[in-house]
Each structure stands twice: as C-alpha cells, then as structure tokens.
C-alpha cells in the first residue's frame, strides 16, 4: 500500500508510516480508493459542482414568470443561506457564515471564484493534505463572513455587508495559509506569492464596487491562523480527514436547515 501522505510503501494495517509518521497511512486498505479521487480527495470537484448547482437554483428562485436572468435576487440568496448583517442579526441565522461561501451573485463572480479554487485547491492539498485543506477552506469562510457581518453591524466605512455571498473569503484563506507556509518552512517564494496575490486582489476589492473587503480580510486571517494551528511541518493525521468530513456534513445540514426555515417563513 502507498502512504497517502508521502507516497512510500507501507503495510495495509501499519499504525504509522515509518517515513513521515502519519497514522494509519494505508487507511485500512481504502487508500487506493481515496488516492483515485486525487490529492484533494475530490473536494475541488465537489465545490465546483455544488456552487454551480446552487447558482442555477438561485437563478430559478429569482425568475420572474418564465424569464430567468443571470444574477440571483437578494431574497433568493437569503433563502439558500447568504450571510451578512441582515441574515445574522436581522433573522438570527448565525449559521449562514458556513453556507454563504457556496453561493454567488453573478456569472463573473462564480466564474472567477471557481477558477481560483480549481487552481489553488490542489496546490494547498499538496502542501497540507486534503483534510487540512478542507479545514482551512471552511475556517476561512467562517471567519471572513463573521468579520464582514460584525463590521457592517459596527458601521465601519468600506467594510462589511448587509447580505454577502461568495467563495472569495475561503480563497483568501488559502492565500493566508500560503503566507504562513512560507514563513514556517522557509519557502520564501511560496509565502511571497501568497502575499502578492492577496495584496493585488485586496486592492482590486477597493476599486471594484460591491466587493466584500471585510470577508476577504477575515478569510485571510482565518486561513493564516488555521495554518498556524495545523502546522504544515507536521504530517496530516486521520483525525484531520475526519474533521474535514464533519465540516462538510455540518455545512450541508446548515444549508438544508436554512432553506427549510426560509420556506417556513415564506409559507
């Protein structure tokens, strides 16, 4: 069996990898099935498929008669789990900080974010492992939308949103993780690349209208702190993968619950 972390040969039931120290490196014989999904365990494809599906659904919910536009309405996004001051403080739906990152406000918005995720997701998985990559993605989204909601509530100029969606908070989390990886491992080119992209995209956020700069800032901070806690110099453990799966399941439950609550209110 091939260790899912470092690629050396290990026994199916070996408790640890003799090379990198990963626990249960053969994943009890299921390692080939997991490896067939790719280094990211299929997460990038899951995000791509789910965000496109939810985007189409938001357009359907926004239709006027038989006419369907390219940008969903604010009400449709709130039904599906948008975050921001209105859902969190107005409706008391604090869990939407988990779901908002899977929604998008227009074709350009979803196109750019999906492209960034498909480019950066596999790279983060190569550096941290699939489990920790998903944890960074989730934590950055939560911290980004939480900061955005609080800043709007506190009426801080240029920051915060009444209603906010998008995967860019998690994307900035990936950039924050790259910056910490560069500092922790001494890979200056990785850290500099992450910081340069963050600065460029951050400046663009102030130039382009409608951008949630607070979510970007919070996502970057969340990604950096998540990387600090998870420590890229240590091998990924099986409990990281378990925690990642739990994050996805909790997000799915939050999405379903939000739709159910919204339909109950509208009904």
Per the CB < 8 A criterion, the answer to whether 228 and 221 are in contact is no
Per the CB < 8 A criterion, the answer to whether 115 and 48 are in contact is no
Residue 170 among the catalytic residues: no
Sequence-ordered list of residues with C-beta below 8 angstroms from that of 105, at least 6 positions apart, any chain: 71, 72, 77, 165, 166, 210
Residue 180 among the catalytic residues: no
User: What is the rounded distance in angstroms from the CA atom of residue 203 to the CA atom of residue 49?
Assistant: 29
Which DSSP letter does residue 84 get?
Answer: S
User: What is the rounded distance in angstroms from the CA atom of residue 251 to the CA atom of residue 74?
Assistant: 21
Which DSSP letter does residue 209 get?
Answer: T
Which of 58, 83, 168, 227 is labelled catalytic? Answer: 168
User: What is the rounded distance in angstroms from the CA atom of residue 31 to the CA atom of residue 266?
Assistant: 46
Which of 148, 216, 227, 240 is labelled catalytic? Answer: 216
User: What is the rounded distance in angstroms from the CA atom of residue 256 to the CA atom of residue 254?
Assistant: 6
Torsion from C-alpha of 195, 5, 121, 229, nearest 10 degrees: -50
> What is residue 129's three-state secondary structure?
coil
> What positions carry a catalytic annotation?
168, 216
């Amino acid at each position: 069996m091939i260790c899912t972390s470092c690629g050396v040969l290990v026994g199916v039931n070996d408790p640890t990898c003799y090379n990198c120290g990963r626990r249960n490196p053969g994943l009890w014989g299921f390692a080939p099935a997991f490896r067939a999904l790719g280094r990211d365990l299929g997460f990038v494809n899951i995000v791509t498929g789910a965000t496109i599906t939810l985007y189409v659904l938001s357009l359907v919910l926004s239709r006027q008669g038989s006419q369907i536009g390219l940008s969903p309405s604010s009400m449709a996004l709130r039904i599906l789990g948008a975050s921001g001051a209105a859902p969190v403080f107005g409706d008391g739906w604090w869990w939407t900080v988990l779901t908002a990152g899977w929604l998008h406000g227009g074709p350009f918005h979803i196109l750019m974010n999906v492209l960034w995720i498909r480019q950066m997701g596999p790279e983060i998985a190569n550096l941290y492992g699939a489990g920790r990559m998903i944890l960074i993605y989730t934590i950055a989204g939560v911290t980004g939308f939480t900061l955005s909601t609080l800043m709007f509530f506190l009426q801080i100029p240029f920051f915060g949103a009444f209603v906010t969606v998008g995967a860019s908070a998690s994307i900035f989390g990936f950039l924050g993780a790259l910056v910490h990886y560069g500092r922790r491992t001494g890979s200056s080119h990785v850290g500099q690349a992450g910081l340069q992209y963050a600065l460029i995209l951050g400046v663009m956020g102030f130039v382009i209208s409608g951008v949630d700069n607070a979510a970007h800032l919070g996502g970057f901070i969340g990604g950096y702190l998540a990387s600090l806690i998870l420590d890229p110099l240590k091998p990924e453990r099986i409990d990281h993968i378990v925690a990642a799966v739990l994050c996805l399941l909790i997000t799915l439950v939050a999405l379903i619950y939000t739709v159910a609550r919204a339909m109950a209110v509208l009904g």
